[in-house]
Amino acid sequence: MRPALAACRKPLKSLSEEPGIPENACLVAGIPGIYLHFGKGVAAVVNYDLFGDVVPEGLGKRGRPPHVVNDARRAKVMLLMAIGRKNSEIAAALGISEPTLRKSYRAEMRSREEARFRVEGENLLKLFEQVHEGNVAAIKEMRKVLDKAEAGDGEFYKRAAANATNTKAPKEKKLGKKEQELKDAIEMSDDTPLGRLMNQRANPDRMN
């Protein structure tokens, strides 16, 4: 393996320096398992699985290899959460255990509802960008989204009604004995001795 790598490093380096050649030119050229490392100007060995993910170093040796978290896998977890997949199913999609899933993707797994809203928000943002560019199909699609939200039986009013129903009135703070006496005195209620006394002082004619 080492002699073969040594023999291909020079042509790969020359290939990488050609204008318009992408970083993964060696992979496109049909040399799997090799990726150019431009920092040192040499080719480095990197193994990929069938899905294009990097195989962690030490796979197949004693002990479990560390799980590598990247943006693509974070997005995958977010999308699977958004469509309501179970933790076991998401872990299986990544080829990891559920404890590793919860440990590595804590932020993405806070709530399936939150994940759905975030994905929905990203989709709406992309749609709005196309609307801003004058895309007719995007404008029509955005109109449908807004009509659904504004309709009386649409999601907007359903959520608004649910929020209004679930909103609880704040509980009145229970007053202490002295605070209650002061309140009764101010209100001059006849239901309490202090209230009646204040009423008598304020309205002496009532004593007759």
104 and 118, same domain (yes or no): no
* Mean per-residue pLDDT pooled into runs of 10, the chain (208 residues): 56 51 47 44 52 58 73 91 91 91 90 89 92 91 83 65 67 73 63 65 60
**Within this chain, do residues 101 and 145 fall inside the same structural domain, yes or no?**
no
Full-model pTM: 0.43
| Predicted pLDDT of residue 56 | 58
Q: Are 34 and 12 within 8 A, CB to CB?
A: yes
**185 domain residue, yes or no:** no
pLDDT recorded at residue 127: 92
Is the CB of residue 33 less than 8 Å from the CB of residue 48? yes
Regarding whether 148 and 121 lie in a shared domain, the answer is yes
Identify the domain containing residue 104 by its residue range.
71-112
Neighbours of 17 (CB within 10 A): 11
Instruction: State how far the Cα of 157 lies from the Cα of 152, in Å rounded to an integer.
Output: 6
Question: Can you give the pLDDT at residue 158?
Answer: 72
Regarding whether 157 and 133 lie in a shared domain, the answer is yes
